[in-house]
Amino acid sequence: MTTLSRKLRSHTLSQKNNLGLTSNQKIFFSIFTLFINISLKEVHSILLVLLFMTSLTIWSGIRIKNYFKVMLVPLFFLIPSIAIIMFIRGTNIVFTINLLGIQLHVMREGINLGLILLLRALAGVSCLYFLILTTPIEEMIQSFRKIKLPNVVIEILFLSYKLIFDLADRAEILKRSLNSKLGFNSIKNSFKSISLFTSSLFVNSIDRSIKINKALDARCCNGKMPSPNILEEKKGINKKISISFLVLITFDLILIALKII
Amino acid sequence: MPGLKIRELSFSYDGTKILKNINLDFKEGEKTFILGGNGEGKTTLLEHLNGLLQPNTGDIYFGDQKITYDDSCLNKLRQEIGVLFQNPENQIVAPKVPQDIGVGPCNLGLTQEQVKNRINNSLKKLDIKELAERKTHNLSVGEKKKVCIAGLLAMKPSTLVLDEPLSSLDPKSSREVIDIIQNLNQEEGKTIIIATHNIGFASKIADKVIIMEEGKVKESGSPENILRKDILNKYSLKPPGLNMNKIHK
Ligand SMILES: Nc1ncnc2c1ncn2[C@@H]1O[C@H](COP(=O)(O)OP(=O)(O)OP(=O)(O)O)[C@@H](O)[C@H]1O
Ligand SMILES: [Mg+2]
């Protein structure tokens, strides 16, 4: 079965490394860029981050179609919240919507702020997607261990990773099963199916977490996750700082320079 | 290697009694088969054997020691008693095959070298060297099952508790797994406890057979005495088309 979640997971696991970066470098670069991005105020710099990160991710082997699919997820949450800002910020009215006698004014400042927020949020997400979609979880965890992140945090990270993918798989399986029972053949049935889908997904996620807990218990994990990386061959890590890393850092420096000017 | 004793064990899920007053003895070095239809409580019973579930009343003894459900006791128990889950999806926790097999040994605090050795031995034992490079999420169900069995063996338990070990295995793999079980039992003296509704499998290698119904132990004895037409019919366990003349060893 090749669901989207499986495709992405296969990809991060395949360690196809078009960029020649170690995971430490990737973590450093994406977090650093994320912080710069937060402080940026000019639309063109933010756009630059978004475009650069997106093309990096796609260049490192993610299919464009899949990338935009995962980008839809944050958009789904962003658009409604940003739409509200357009009505409540500023004084210059651009146009007015008449909704059942209530006058809703869309403001110039609101539109500007909303756009910047939207772009900045997307650029931030693209930084993190670059990290998530190109780095296997084990490598990330190993790096986190190296920088002495507390164990609890790492374990929660690993478990949530496993649960998210399990959940995505379950969602795909449920959808298939409902499809095979003609669950989406009419609007009425679709509504029924969607309610079934959500409730069983919820129950499933709880059930999965209980079962993962059992599986870990059965192998003597009393609260302590084994380093999932202990068995990995140490891959010949590029000691010399690669050219690509220098290029990426230069990009960050350019951003900072743009900001200062 | 001590045996396992269950005394007056009862267990309910959300107020529904699933296991009722179970008394059982699993002698060391013996292969015990627990037979029973769907939903009669086999899996629930097996999950008690290494402390994944805790009985409402009653006790389990490993050797002379009563299981107390504190960390050190559970740790020792889970090292000694390996449980194969019915559904391999629920047992796999790591993204890659060798990692998954290594999770148990890592938790036992072995060195990297020892862990690697155990992984390789398990892979060899199950003849799944070709899976060594694979990711766990896209294995076939049968392959997952084998990986789970390998993960059990890597912990070197003295007792193996197997929930439907042959389900979703093809005939060749089934034969291999039966051979492995026989080997572990005869050469290493491991105690084997298997839950199944595969009567043919039970008749091939069982030393002792138990029949469960509605959470109670209804019959218990040697395969010659239990795997008889009248008894199997009574519990609706006789598979369609099974030739009863062929069933004994
Ligand atoms: N987590 C749970 N919560 C509530 N009831 C449960 C739970 N797990 C199992 N049961 C119920 O307990 C009973 C025994 O289940 P169990 O899984 O032990 O059966 P089984 O003998 O292993 O069946 P099968 O041959 O189908 O695997 C069933 O009626 C089942 O519905
Ligand atoms: Mg069962």
Q: Which of A125-134, A138-147, B144-153 has the lowest mean pLDDT?
A: A138-147
Residue B98, chain A, CB below 8 Å: the answer is yes
Determine which residue's CA is closest to atom 10 belonging to ligand 1. B13
Residues A22 and A139 in one domain: yes
Which is higher by pLDDT, A139 or B134?
B134
pLDDT at A95: 81
Is the separation of the CB atoms in B58 and B10 below 8 Å? yes
Residue A5 lies inside a defined structural domain of this protein: no
Domain that holds residue B11: 4-237
Residue A171 lies inside a defined structural domain of this protein: yes
Which is higher by pLDDT, B128 or A155?
B128
Over range B149-171, report the average pLDDT.
92
**pLDDT band, very low/low/confident/very high, at B39 (cuts 50, 70, 90):** very high
3-state secondary structure at position B135: strand
* N-terminal to C-terminal alpha carbon distance within chain B: 27
Residues A49 and A36 in one domain: yes
Residue A252 lies inside a defined structural domain of this protein: yes
pLDDT at A227: 56
CATH number at residue B226: 3.40.50.300
Q: Which of A82-86, A146-150, A238-242, B58-62 has the lowest mean pLDDT?
A: A238-242
Over range A33-49, report the average pLDDT.
89
Residue A220 lies inside a defined structural domain of this protein: yes
Residues A187 and A125 in one domain: no
pLDDT at position A99 over 90: no
Over range A119-130, report the average pLDDT.
92
| A223 CB-side CA count, 13 A | 4
Over range A171-177, report the average pLDDT.
77
Residue A90 lies inside a defined structural domain of this protein: yes
What's the mean per-residue pLDDT of chain A? 80
**pLDDT band, very low/low/confident/very high, at B55 (cuts 50, 70, 90):** very high
pLDDT at position A60 over 90: no
A28-32, A200-204, B245-249 — most confident range: A28-32
Find chain A residues with C-beta within 8 A of B117's C-beta. none
The dihedral over CA atoms of A179, A12, A48, A117, expressed in degrees to the nearest 10, equals 50
Q: Which of A40-44, B6-10, B40-44, B215-219 has the lowest mean pLDDT?
A: A40-44
Residues A78 and A191 in one domain: no
Over range A116-129, report the average pLDDT.
92
pLDDT at A86: 83
Residue B27 lies inside a defined structural domain of this protein: yes
pLDDT at position B60 over 60: yes
Which is higher by pLDDT, A212 or A8?
A212
Task: Indicate yes or no: CB of A218 within 8 angstroms of CB of B85.
Answer: yes
Residues A79 and A48 in one domain: yes
**C-alpha to C-alpha distances, B153 to A129, A209, B201, B206, nearest whole angstrom:** 39, 25, 21, 20
Task: Indicate yes or no: CB of B99 within 8 angstroms of CB of A228.
Answer: yes
pLDDT at position A9 over 70: no
pLDDT at position A1 over 50: no
Is the separation of the CB atoms in A13 and A233 below 8 Å? no
In chain A, the percentage of residues whose pLDDT exceeds 90 is: 10
* N-terminal to C-terminal alpha carbon distance within chain A: 52
Encode pLDDT of B72-105 as tens digits. 888 888 889 999 999 988 888 877 898 889 888 8
**Domain count of chain A?**
2
Complex ipTM, two decimals?
0.72
Strands A102-107, B4-13: pairing is: unpaired
Give A227→chain B minimum CA distance, Å.
Answer: 8
Which is higher by pLDDT, B127 or A164?
B127
pLDDT at A181: 67
pLDDT at A7: 64
**How many residues does this entry show for chain A?**
261
pLDDT at position B119 over 90: yes
- C-alpha R_g of chain A: 22
Residue A167 lies inside a defined structural domain of this protein: yes
pLDDT at A17: 58
**Domain count of chain B?**
1
What's the mean per-residue pLDDT of chain B? 89
pLDDT at A8: 65
Residues A91 and A203 in one domain: no
Residue B246 lies inside a defined structural domain of this protein: no
CA B197 to centroid of ligand 1, rounded, Å: 14
Residue A248 lies inside a defined structural domain of this protein: yes
Which is higher by pLDDT, A80 or A10?
A80
Tell me the backbone φ, ψ of residue B111, rounded to 5 degrees.
Answer: -75, 160
Residues A109 and A159 in one domain: no
Over range B3-9, report the average pLDDT.
92
Over range B219-246, report the average pLDDT.
83
The DSSP secondary structure of A68-104, one letter per residue, reads HHHHHHHHHHHHHHHHHHHHHS-S-EEEEEEETTEEE
Which is higher by pLDDT, A29 or A180?
A29
Encode pLDDT of A17-33 as tens digits. 566 777 888 888 899 99
CA B40 to centroid of ligand 1, rounded, Å: 7
Residues A112 and A175 in one domain: no
Which chain B residues in 115-144 lie under 8 Å from chain A, judged by CB atoms? 115-116, 119, 135, 137-138
Q: Which of A18-27, A244-253, B4-13 has the lowest mean pLDDT?
A: A18-27
**B99 CB burial (10 A radius; 0-12, 13-18, 19+):** buried
Pocket of ligand 1 (CB under 6 A): B 13-14, 18, 36, 38-44, 86
Which is higher by pLDDT, B12 or A220?
B12
Residue A8 lies inside a defined structural domain of this protein: no
Over range B110-132, report the average pLDDT.
91
Residue B120 lies inside a defined structural domain of this protein: yes
Domain that holds residue A167: 151-230
Determine which residue's CA is closest to atom 30 belonging to ligand 1. B39
CA B230 to centroid of ligand 1, rounded, Å: 26
Residue B34 lies inside a defined structural domain of this protein: yes
Residues A23 and A96 in one domain: yes
Strands B191-196, B65-66: pairing is: unpaired
Residues A194 and A168 in one domain: yes
pLDDT at position B178 over 90: yes
pLDDT at B216: 94
Residues A144 and A258 in one domain: yes
Could you tell me the maximum CA-CA distance found in chain B, to the nearest angstrom? Answer: 54
Task: Indicate yes or no: CB of A222 within 8 angstroms of CB of B71.
Answer: yes
**Alpha carbon distance A94, A82 (integer Å):** 16
Residues A241 and A219 in one domain: no
A82-96, B135-149, B207-221, B227-241 — most confident range: B207-221
Task: Indicate yes or no: CB of B93 within 8 angstroms of CB of A216.
Answer: yes
Is the separation of the CB atoms in B65 and B3 below 8 Å? no
**C-alpha to C-alpha distances, A255 to A148, A252, A259, B225, B248, nearest whole angstrom:** 29, 5, 6, 82, 79
**Alpha carbon distance A100, A91 (integer Å):** 22
Nearest to A230 among B106, B138, B151 (CB): B106
